[in-house]
Amino acid sequence: MTIRKKDRFVYALLILLVIAAGILSRKTTLVPLIVGDILYAVMMFLIIKFLLIRSNWQKIGIISLSICYCIELAQLYDAPWINHIRSTTLGALVLGQGFLWSDMIAYTLGISICVLLFYRFNPIQDQA
């Protein structure tokens, strides 16, 4: 499988679109909160795929889900310095503000959707 510059460009564009959709999902009460969390997981999957472009979708799924879980579990840690970071807009978007089991479910759902889509539309990949 040859990696082209176009491939990274497509992933970068998808990442930006998912970020925009995630931010917009938080600006309205019409969209359930879980949608933003699912989009966060999708964004993480795309970022990891962008960085590890030659890796297969199973590996990307495991890495991105692990990162999402770690970030969520880190929300159980309560210290003034990290709470200060979380109080900023960027800090809240990246680190979140409170542990929820429903977020873990949303991340699992988001990554599962990505893995299924990658399998459906790209069933033959190099095994990196």
Tell me the three state secondary structure of residue 97: coil
Q: Render pLDDT for 29-88 as a digit per residue (tens, 0 to 9).
A: 898 989 999 999 999 999 999 999 989 889 999 999 999 999 999 899 989 998 899 889
Res 124 pLDDT > 70? no
Q: Is the CB of residue 18 less than 8 Å from the CB of residue 43? A: yes
What mean pLDDT is reported for the chain?
Answer: 89
**Residue in 38, 25, 28 with CA at minimum distance from that of residue 106:** 38
